[in-house]
Amino acid sequence: MESDATQRQYYSVQFRLQRVTTEYCYINVPVTSDLMISQPDGTGRLNVESMVNRAVEISQFPDVKWYIEDHTTSPHPVQKPMEPSEERFQGLFPHEK
């Protein structure tokens, strides 16, 4: 066992990273009259923007099944010191204080 005086010194540089998880789901949007735009000839056409907005609204329901598509880890655009309540990974430097 190494004493404190002979214990190996480790140095490290700390980075703040961010991880983004992209998920997707499939939503069926019921075609209702409020999603239609009346045309001068008496017909109607779908209001695509309203349909997309409705899909986003429906996607917030708690029982919607989301699937993980991707994980991306990159340097955080704002590098700053850790907050006292935050923790860092110490697995490579177990003796670091």
In this predicted model, what pLDDT tens digit does every residue of 36-84 receive, in sequence order?
Answer: 999 999 999 999 999 999 999 999 999 999 999 999 999 999 999 999 9
> Residue 26 falls within a domain, yes or no?
yes
> Residue 69 falls within a domain, yes or no?
yes
CB of 71 within 8 A of CB of 23?
no
> Residue 46 falls within a domain, yes or no?
yes
> Residue 9 falls within a domain, yes or no?
no
How far is 36 from 43, CA to CA, in rounded Å?
10
Residue 63, domain extent: 21-75
C-alpha distances (whole Å) from 84 to each of 78, 81, 87 are 17, 9, 8
Asked whether residue 10 carries a pLDDT value surpassing 80, the answer given is: no
> Residue 97 falls within a domain, yes or no?
no
> Residue 87 falls within a domain, yes or no?
no
Domain count, the chain: 1
Asked whether residue 9 carries a pLDDT value surpassing 90, the answer given is: no
Strand partners, 37: 45
Residue-level pLDDT at 69: 98
C-alpha distances (whole Å) from 29 to each of 32, 36, 56, 77 are 9, 13, 10, 37
> Residue 1 falls within a domain, yes or no?
no
Quick check: pTM over 0.85?
no
